[in-house]
Amino acid sequence: MDLEGKLKALEQDYLDIEKRMADPDVTSNLKELQSLGKKHAQLEPVVEKFRTYRSVQQSIAEARELLKSGDPEMETLAAEELERLEPQVDSFEDDLKLLLLPKDPNDEKRVIVEIRAGTGGEEAALFASDLYRMYNRFCERQRWRLEVLDSNETGIGGYKEIIFRVDSEGAYSSLKFESGVHRVQRVPATEASGRIHTSAATVAVLPEVEDVEVDIRTEDLKIDTYRSSGAGGQHVNMTDSAVRITHLPTGIVVTCQDERSQIKNRARAMTYLKTKLYDMELQKQASELASERRGQIGSGDRSERVRTYNYPQNRITDHRINLTLYKLDIYLDGDLYGMIDAMTLAEQTERLHHLEI
């Protein structure tokens, strides 16, 4: 089906949904009404853009007819109108193709992010801490709420691992490109000779799931409680508030000790477990599509080196799209926007290449 044929079909779907939403039987069914409302909202930008595009095409056709009118004044006006409108057509078509791209079903979801120190010992743990601060600053810029679920600190301020939740709809669309191995090149604070070292940390960005998306049987769980080892003042080590959940069929273990309440920690740990199980399925699907460039840009192979942070040159490089920015200091302070925009554009370009129209 050509571009216009697809757009006409979507417009008819849009009209059909509007008609159903006005049906008294539907208006009395809140669940169905909400579902239709969501579909209607998703189609609206495409339909509005298509209607404007069609209006421009109609104006161009009318202007071309006026060029044959034999009236010099009208022909001059028509030529000016065509000069204004014709360049808009390609832009409209590009915009409409982007709007026709299938939406990533996870884009609007909240996320759980795991950062783990890799090769490099204490320096890798310090780098993991720097990455956490970077994402924390980005969330502050976005006015997103960040909640630490679990962490394992080292003696000098680094993290062997830190796991946190970003409680904002749409977080996945911005952070999904972060998954992979991040490499740092710098003189470590612990290095007396001034030599540049290379170390690494891994980042995994997991879309958080709703209860209906993952079914977990109670008999498949082993739940342990223990005393928190983190900060907590007079409450630390006083009660068994930390929770560890083991999913027996897969062997996945999740922990949460950030809250002083065992109930809250258990709820957060369950959310984390569901997210891990959902991500396991996503990774399985991604491996089946590993030959597609979109899979490499979007979800990211967790073992793939994705970024290099070079401190001496104030440089950050993304190896998937061969983009280098010389503003590492600003980037580490949470200004991720340039990289996110570039990654999004690269993904869209690749997906457009495979779009069948």
The tens place of each residue's pLDDT in the chain, 357 residues long, gives: 678 888 999 999 999 999 999 998 888 888 889 889 988 988 999 999 999 999 999 999 999 999 888 888 899 999 999 999 999 998 898 888 888 887 788 888 999 999 999 988 899 999 999 999 999 999 999 999 999 998 999 988 899 999 999 999 999 999 999 999 999 999 987 676 778 999 999 999 999 987 657 778 889 999 998 877 654 444 444 567 889 999 999 999 999 987 678 888 998 899 999 999 988 888 777 666 554 434 445 444 557 899 999 999 999 999 999 999 999 999 999 999 999 999 998 888 887 776 665
**Among 95, 91, 90, 83, CA closest to 59:** 83
Token digits of residue 351: 């997906």
- Domains 3-100 and 111-212+289-352 belong to one CATH topology: no
Alpha-carbon gap, residue 348 to 97, rounded angstroms: 10
Token digits of residue 67: 């060029």
CB of 305 closer than 8 Å to CB of 198: no
Token digits of residue 303: 């073992």
Q: What pTM was computed for the model?
A: 0.72
The architecture of the domain spanning 213-283 is 2-Layer Sandwich (3.30)
| DSSP-based three-state secondary structure for 184 | strand
Q: Which residue ranges make up each domain of the chain? A: 3-100, 111-212+289-352, 213-283
The architecture of the domain spanning 3-100 is Up-down Bundle (1.20)
Alpha-carbon gap, residue 212 to 245, rounded angstroms: 20
Token digits of residue 73: 């004044």
The CATH number of domain 111-212+289-352 is 3.30.70.1660: yes
Alpha-carbon gap, residue 202 to 303, rounded angstroms: 8
Alpha-carbon gap, residue 59 to 57, rounded angstroms: 5
